Structure 1
Amino acid sequence: MPLTKSPLSANWQFRQTTSLNNSTASSFLPVSQFPTVAHLDLLHHGLIKDPYIDINEIETLWVNDADWEYRTTFPSPASSPSSRHELYFEGLDTICSIALNGKTILETRNMHMEYRIDVTKFLSEKEGDENVLELKFRNAPEFAKKEKDRIGYKGNGTDVHFGGPERLFVRKAQYHWGWDWGPAINTSGPWKPVWLESWSEDKGRIKEWIVRQEVSEDLKTAAVKIQGSVEGGKGENLSIEIQDPLGKLVVTQGFSVDLEGEFKGEIKVSSPDLWYPFTYGAQPLYTVTCSLASADTKSIKLGFRRLRLLQHPLKNEPGTSFTFEINNTPIFAGGSCWIPGDFMLPRMSSKRYRDWLELAKSGNQAMIRVWGGGLVESEDFYSACDELGILVWQDFLFACGDYPAENGFVEEVKAEAEQQIKRVGHHTSLAIWAGNNEDYMLAERWGWDYNPDDNNPENWAKTNFPARLIYERTLPEVCERLAGDVPYWRSSPYGGYNSNDKTIGDVHIWNVWHGKMSPYQSYKDYTSRFVSEFGFESAPSLRTLHSAITDPSERHWQSLTFDAHDKGPGHQRRYGMYSGENFRFQFNPLASFVYCSQFLQAEAMSYAYNHWRREFRGPGEENCSGILVWQLNDIWPGTSWALVDVNGGRKPSFYITKRALSKVVVGMERVVTGVYGNYMTDWSYPEKRDKVEIWAVNGFVTELEATLKLSAFDISSGEEVELPEKERTRKLTLGGNRTTELTKIDIPCADKTVLVAYLDDEKTGERLARWISWPEPLKFVKFHKNLKVEAAIEGEVVTLKSNAPVKGVVLQVPLEEGGDDAVFDDNFVDLVPGEEIKIGVKGLDGRKIETRFLCDWEYKEGFVL
């Protein structure tokens, strides 16, 4: 018989097997869904409150420390003397003892691994007889604490930021212990599907196959490299087919199977259609199918692309580049970091993954970093990235901790890494595997025994940083064998003698918001070769906060409930400090706090993205080749660094990054030209910034003919300020795939003038980019006393205009109109007189919209909300 794969998804029941709370499921109850975890089932039966709402997190912490049992029944399949039957567990969270018909068949302790076990001899013999499958889960925190005691913890307690040090000793998603953007929800249960696979030993099956691709330097040929093994059968050979993106057969080739059941070979494809990130080209995907006679067939989608990580010396800057090159084209990798989409992971569907990734693409994000405190994600995630053209930076699953290197732990890590790379390593979107998140950075910060020049693993074992063995020996060896052309990087961040060296490798920039709490205007000082993490906190939308805080009296930014939904340490101090430095603000009512905190985040992102993208200047001048903000998504209705809240509410920072990562960008920076007074007063007044530098980014790989147009306006009167004729219009040639410096000009009456730059296509007249430069700090700006912003709706287009310069106009559907907010193509825009800005919108459904914007404190129209 051919291989059959039957889901075991019916008849599941669950119960609690420890007595920690009276309102538990002590007797078996039906599950809410399958796959599942205990929190989902308890919610379904009303036995716990939703931990995402109010401060219910505290009331549900007991679930983390409970043990659970899941069971189901299923009929025995048809069998013959040659039949083999296997139970296949895609994922068990986490410490599990498995029994079939009363006999223990397997013990597991790794959430990140799949497990198979031959159960032929354990099944009821008669076809149709019922079999009982029991999964007994021990709570992970208790197990982890015992492992910590057994192995011995070498850290000093300063090196675990989230949860307790026990989390380091169990292979479970680390964010389940809580993080600074989410609650502590430590789940347990069969979180991925369970299958019964049946096959005939006579006919055999494909036990394993690994597919990798390699494109020639001239891009004219591609090699599909295949290896794997067959179990059973009578020596049949394999047939490999490759179909092009339109389904046309490209090649068929036979592979011989040796006496050990193994096969290996290579297939050449001439003139392949090449895969690119969406910012540089198309995403054709071929289909590769492996067949073992009529017994078993496996198939994957594969894109052809030549990937390299370039680290060459730079012309005008110290250190080396850190540039991803696809098909011989250096890529600017702008995007964001990804945290898991839910604590209760079985709720994550293919649609939810797709929606998030399509949202990222709509924001011009061409790379996403899967953070090491979460998961090697679902197939749905990587398949969507392949299809959408989004590159993936994948961390291995270690984050912010001093992990052990005991032999058994290291072997477990090795097996886990092998499985995960085999599972997802064929995906074309994968661009890098990084050993961990921030472990080397913490080693330096907390003074662990770490000598970068010591390459002897025997010495590492004697230090309090033994995990170097994992990052510098185990993982690179696995990647060398299995990852194909996807490079391995020791950590994120890593590079140079110091892990956060701005001149080599990647960096995490947290001296803004955390650390020194530098002004966000200092982001330019932290320009680095590749910024893989940085961020700035803000509140989610008012709608999302209302869904999270049910008591109206708690709906203010200093309430206990609000504070419980902002896990960022020191957030209260930071909001006031950063706001006070930059603009006049109001934090109550809650709607004002939402606007002000989101305004801060957006302005910070504007500084970071535009200054750093400016530094992608062409061959030999890739001074910054990537920017990944922390973070794209939220996991619950809370305040965090996310660009988009858990309900899909796009914050102003999302639109800032979308514009900064557009195909063509014009940018401006006001530069210091002097001080007010003299040396006795220069410390107490803002610096004079009477000149502005202007540049343009051309994201096309070919040159672009464009026209730069400049104008200026008095902020308080709305009157146009005259610029010299030679500065108003100029024709330009912008080099491909790089930044071009355009000009540096004087700003008349700079402290009360906005300067507007437009970049138009010279041939078509199409407006390519726009930028408005404001004097800073904004708290000293005097706005027009009768500032008016008009928003006219016609169909699915909103037209904005104003009678004077206005900063940070946000469009939204008022809360009292009900329903979700509309989705706007653009938002958080600056306006000047005489222009009309048209913004596409979906989901208005006849409802009104309102505008919110920054203005003088005493002129409250449009600000107090």
Structure 2
Amino acid sequence: MEVREVDLGAYEWHFCQKHPSASIDAYFGDEPKDDANTRWFPAVVPGMVHLDLFRNKLIPDPYKELNEQKVQWIGEIDWVYKCRLPKLSFQENASVDLVFDGLDTFADVYLNGRHLGSTDNMYIAHRYRLASADLAGETNLLLILFRSALKEGQALEKKYGKRELWNGDSSRLYVRKAGYHYGWDWGPVLMACGVWRPVRLEVYEARIREVAIPITLSDDLSQALIKFNIDMDCDVRQADKYDVNISIGETENSTILQSQRISVTKQATASTQIKVDKPKLWYPRTHGNPHLYTVKIDLLKGEQLLERRHKTIGFRKLRIVQRPLEEDPGTTFYFEVNNLPIFCGGTNWIPADNFVPRLTDEDYRQWIQSAVDSNQNMLRVWGGGIYEQDIFYDTCDKMGILVWQDFMFACGLYPAHDAFCKNIETELSHVIKHLRHHPCIALWCGNNEDYAIGEEYHDPNDKGPWDDTPFPARKIYELIMPDMVKQLDPTGAPYWPGSPYGGVGGADRTVGDIHQWNVWHGIQDKYQNYSKLAGRFVSEFGMEAMPTLSTMLSMWNTGTSPVDQYAQSRVSDWHNKATGFEARIGKYIMENIQFPAAGDLPAWVYCTQFIQAEAIRYAISGWRRNFGGPGHEKTSGALIWQLNDCWPVTSWAIADYYKKPKAAWYVAKREFAPIAAGISFVDGSDNTKVSVWGASSKLENVHVNIFVRAYRIKDGHHVFEHTEEGVLLANQSTELLQVDLCKGVRDDLRESDVVLCAQFYAGDQCVAQSTLWPEPFKYIHLPDPVLHIQYDINSITLKVSNPVKGLWLEGNADMAFDDNFVDVLPGCAKTIRVRNWKGEKLAARWLGYNRLESR
């Protein structure tokens, strides 16, 4: 018989609050028997209790106003979900499994009053084999009790002891639940529960339980060896009646390249191997095409098809290279894909909603498209969230985005007692097996910042045991995880114990990866010093900024008076979870630009985004400059904290909850571009000499004409020009030239009245530009740029008479700009492609002009 799936989410579900003193037996009827004031309400599965409460108008929107405070009770009580299934008849001798892809988190599952099992891990699937009588009734009651994860965790903490952490209630360290549900420095405390991933019945006589597809590429990349190891669920006495047919073909054109039929052994396994000559390789999008192949696995009984599985794979050789640098201390830390060193430019990814089940596949595609559109080639799935939905990894495969995959441990000294470790081993087995076939997976990483918290307890020379130390989870990161990755993904992504990790401590900038938080956190250094704060791979850094104005306004209820919608209001402050944000936002604005008026919310949005964008520019430009040729890969990655938000909030994200780009998103796009330009004053030259460099991810040398120009700010006069030919070396940064500035320019520089510009031209096309303004900007008197906007159907062209800094354009709600937050110079028109323009005049704002003006 063919494998049959019954989607239980298609049936009617209901939920109710469980009375604290009632037994679960009281809920097996149509109405709870414990409390007349408690009744069943309609529910949606997959879903979460907050969504069901809001849908039934039982709570306010947790994302508005201060409503987060009003819904804290939800996480402190137990909830009951039920579904009545009709009588279901199945073929005699069929196996029937009840399968939950995810239950959040402490759940007891009952069918017709029989307790099937308990769960304590939201990250794994749960499968229950049913007896023939379990679904024989005219109706069959599936009931799930969700116990409060907060209270369950606190009970475990009371038993085992309180442990050190950053962010959230300390009991979360004992609970295998998304850490960010407990609140983070960018997210609310919303302790969800529910059937958060699909639930179904699987009916079969035999099924494919597990597929492993380890792939080995030859050193010269000319041949791929694919091994197939398949495990079955079936009556082992009948196993030799089944065959497996495996075929492989290119995903793009569905052409079958090879096919092989093999018999299932008496141990209910099947294995074989296939060689592919001259395979088309999978590359990160910045360095080639992400070619994909589709593997089709058919389970057969004679000629009857029982089940078909599809797996998408890619052929790529990937490793992390750590070797001594030629002129600098420490070692490299770069990803090499198909023998090519890769500069990884990207962002950190957090869950895109506190209530993940309401995210659609299209939401995920749009988010990853946002990464692609901003020239990123890596996303880091951060360890305080979730192992993402399948569509996330499928889309990264397709779009050529590398994924740094944290295991779900973040910012804490986790326990490592036997029961906890056993739970972790089950989780790791499930996750690695589920994700290992994805070519996008570039790294398995043990945790986020746990070594930073445990640094004073971490002696790299101590090889354990660590059970009686304050940092027992080293057993998980240094023994359990690497062993399981080696066992379950032997030819796939490498393993790294944590992030940051390397050297004696997590702050060692010469080994491994670092989180560079000495800007914003730490010593709160000037962002202009980012280039001096480089590490071998910077996997976190960032600067806070408000979201777009429309997203800021969405924090208030409809009809709120504009008088109450200001930057330092109670609501605005509530929607910023960072400790000390008031002083830090104030510091960076005060140091760099003129302070906006207290009640001018649009000006505050612009100014915070200006600071964020400039900080991101300094960081990426300086660190990408460090990615030299062989032996000189001093910095090989820059991952911005963070790409996205999980609710409307002021945070480090470069695109807000509604996917609207901030100014920093456009800066990242330019700095991560295939060709990027840089210009700075030469150290020690007293601003009399400038250096120009370029960075390229192109795989061949690029010849460019380099223009270094200077413009007087007060009147736009072009006062200096130097032209030279140069060659951008392939797949690295190149120091191109140094230019002595003439006396007149030096005098104007002392008066903060000259802006310098480096432009690269290929033919008559400007392929990269970088500007160098006198700083701090707060001292500059910026004249009206005399902005002219020329409109076309799909583009606009910007022209100015005087230099303009940070020009920001706004149109209708659906309008999208190819570029924004731009510097425009006299005689250098800037053309920007637009989508969804409806003919209206655009509004513009720029530094020194804190008003939106239609032009």
TM-score range (shorter-chain normalised) is over 0.9
Letter in 2 for 1:503: T
Is residue 213 of structure 2 the alignment partner of residue 215 of structure 1?
no
Number of the residue aligned with 2:775: 776
Of 126, 130, 140, which residue of structure 2 is paired with 1:131?
A: 140
5 Å-filtered alignment, 1:432-581, equals 432-444=443-455, 447=456, 449-457=457-465, 460-483=466-489, 484-550=491-557, 551-552=560-561, 553-581=563-591
> Of the candidates 819, 823, 830, which is equivalent to residue 816 of structure 2?
823
Shift of 1:860: 6.6
SS of the equivalent of 1:208 reads strand
d(CA) in 2 for partners of 1:648 and 1:341?
Answer: 9
Q: 1:54 aligns with which of 49, 65, 74?
A: 65
Q: Which amino acid aligns with 1:220?
A: S
Q: Secondary structure at the match of 1:189?
A: coil
TM superposition shift of 1:264 = 3.0
Partner in structure 2 of residue 681 of structure 1: none
Conserved 8 A contact 2:207-2:306: yes
TM-aligned CA deviation for residue 731 of structure 1:
1.3
1:144 aligns with 2:177: no
In 2, the alpha carbon distance for the partners of 1:404 and 1:183 equals 25
Unaligned runs of 5+ in 1: 675-687, 814-818
Q: 1:30 aligns with which of 30, 35, 42?
A: 42
1:576 alignment partner AA: G
2:77 is equivalent to residue 79 of structure 1:
no
After the TM superposition, which residues 197-216 of structure 1 pair with which residues of structure 2 at under 5 Å, given as runs? 197-200=202-205, 204-216=206-218
Q: Which amino acid aligns with 1:388?
A: M
Q: Does the residue aligned with 1:400 lie in a helix, a strand or coil? A: coil
Map 1:49-198 to 2 at 5 A.
Answer: 49-125=60-136, 129-153=138-162, 155=163, 159-198=164-203
Maintained 8 Å contact 2:755/2:772: yes
Q: Secondary structure at the match of 2:394?
A: helix
**Per the alignment, in what secondary structure is the counterpart of residue 121 of structure 2?**
coil
1:721-740 equivalent positions in 2, closer than 5 A: 721-723=719-721, 728-740=722-734
* 1:808-837: CA deviation from partner (whole Å, max 9, x where unpaired): 100012xxxxx6252110001011111210
Match of 1:330 in 2: 341
Helix, strand or coil: the match of 1:237? strand
Q: Does 1:843 align with 2:855?
A: no
CA contact (8 A) 2:411 2:450 kept: yes
Q: What is aligned with 1:683?
A: none
- Report matched runs for 1:184-333 at 5 Å: 184-200=189-205, 204-232=206-234, 233-235=238-240, 236-245=242-251, 246-293=253-300, 294-333=305-344
Shift of 1:864: 13
Quote how far apart the aligned CAs of 1:380 are.
Answer: 0.4
Q: Is the partner of 2:135 in helix, strand or coil?
A: coil
Tell me the alpha carbon deviations over residues 314-360 of structure 1, each in whole angstroms, 9 at most, x when there is no partner. Answer: 11111111111111111111000000011111101111111100011
In 1, the alpha carbon distance for the partners of 2:181 and 2:851 equals 44
Cα separation, 2, equivalents of 1:792 and 1:185: 48
For 1:34, the aligned partner's letter is V
- Counting only pairs closer than 5 Å after superposition, residues 15-26 of structure 1 correspond to structure 2 as 15-18=16-19, 26=38
Amino acid at match of 1:226: F
Partner of 2:26: none
> Match for residue 605 of structure 1?
616
Residues 76, 148 of structure 2: 8 Å contact kept:
yes
Paired letter, 2:575: H
Q: Measure, in 2, the Cα distance between the counterparts of 1:151 and 1:442.
A: 19
Shift of 1:283: 1.7
Secondary structure of the residue aligned to 2:53 is helix
Q: In the alignment, residue 474 of structure 2 is paired with which amino acid? A: R
C-alpha distance 229-860 of structure 1, shift in aligned 2 (>3 A): closer
Provide, for residues 76-96 of structure 1, a one-character-per-residue CA deviation record: whole Å limited to 9, x for no partner.
Answer: 433343211000000001110
Identity %: 38
Query: Distance in 2 between the 1:864 and 1:536 partners?
Result: 29
Q: Deviations over 1:165-203 (max 9, x none)?
A: 100001000000000111101101100110100012xxx
8 A Cα contact 1:24 1:47, kept in partner: no
Contact 2:844 2:854 in 1 (8 A): no
Give the C-alpha shift of residue 453 in structure 1: 0.6
* Deviations, residues 782-809 of structure 1 (Å, cap 9, x unaligned): 223x432222322121211111111110
Take 1:315 and 1:61, find their aligned partners in 2: how far apart are those partners?
Answer: 56
Query: Partner residue of 1:427?
Result: 438
Q: Would the aligned equivalents of 2:89 and 2:136 in 1 still touch at CA under 8 Å? A: no
Kindly report which structure 2 residues correspond to 1:614-633, keeping only aligned pairs within 5 A, or say none: 614-633=625-644
Is the contact between residue 843 and residue 853 of structure 2 (CA under 8 Å) also seen in structure 1? no
How far off its partner does 1:122 sit? 4.4
Kept after mapping to 1: 8 A contact 2:207/2:232 = yes
Match of 1:765 in 2: 764
Instruction: Please tell me whether the aligned partners of residues 239 and 265 of structure 2 are also in contact (alpha carbons under 8 angstroms).
Output: no
1:5 match? 5
Gaps of 5+ in 2: 22-34
Cα gap change, 1:473 to 1:694, in 2 (>3 Å): same
Do the aligned partners of 2:538 and 2:638 also contact (CA within 8 Å) in 1? yes
Which of the numbers 807, 825, 837 marks the counterpart of 1:832?
A: 825
The residue that corresponds to 1:684 in the other structure is none
* CA distance in structure 2 between the aligned counterparts of 1:782 and 1:671, rounded to whole angstroms: 25
Query: Deviation of residue 576 (structure 1)?
Result: 1.5
Task: Give the whole-Å Cα distance in 2 for the aligned partners of 1:443 and 1:370.
Answer: 22
- Structure 1 distance, partners of 2:94, 2:803, is 77
What SS does structure 1 have at the residue aligned with 2:454? helix
Specify the alignment match of 2:711 in structure 1.
713
Instruction: Kindly state the Cα deviation for residue 598 of structure 1 after the two structures are TM-superposed.
Output: 0.3
State the Cα distance separating 1:672 from its structure 2 match. Answer: 4.0
Distance across 2 between alignment mates of 1:243 and 1:439 = 42
Preserved contact between residue 334 and residue 367 of structure 1 (Cα < 8 Å): yes
Question: What's the offset of the Cα at 1:18?
Answer: 3.4
In structure 2, relative to structure 1, the CA distance for the partners of 1:270 and 1:276 (3 Å cut) is same
Provide TM-score, normalisation by structure 2: 0.94
1:369 and 2:377 equivalent? Answer: no
Preserved CA contact (<8 Å) 1:512 1:519: yes
> For the residues of structure 2 that align with 1:822 and 1:24, how far apart are their CA atoms?
52
Shift, 1:24, TM fit: 12
Contact 1:587 1:596 in 2 (8 A): no
Q: 2:652 & 2:733 partners in 1: Cα distance? A: 28
Distance in 2 (alpha carbons) for counterparts of 1:125 and 1:60? 40
Deviation at 1:499, TM superposition (A): 1.7
Tell me: CA distance 1:374–1:806, structure 2 relative to 1, closer, same or farther (3 Å).
same
**1:777 offset after TM fit, Å?**
1.4
Distance 2:155 2:345 in 1: 43
Assess, with a 3 A threshold, how the Cα gap between structure 1 residues 450 and 860 changes in structure 2: closer, same or farther. closer
Q: Distance in 2 between matches of 1:373 and 1:222?
A: 36
CA–CA distance in structure 1, aligned partners of residues 627 and 441 of structure 2: 22
Distance 1:24 1:548, change over 3 A: farther
In 1, Cα distance between equivalents of 2:850 and 2:135:
76
SS in 1 for 2:554: helix
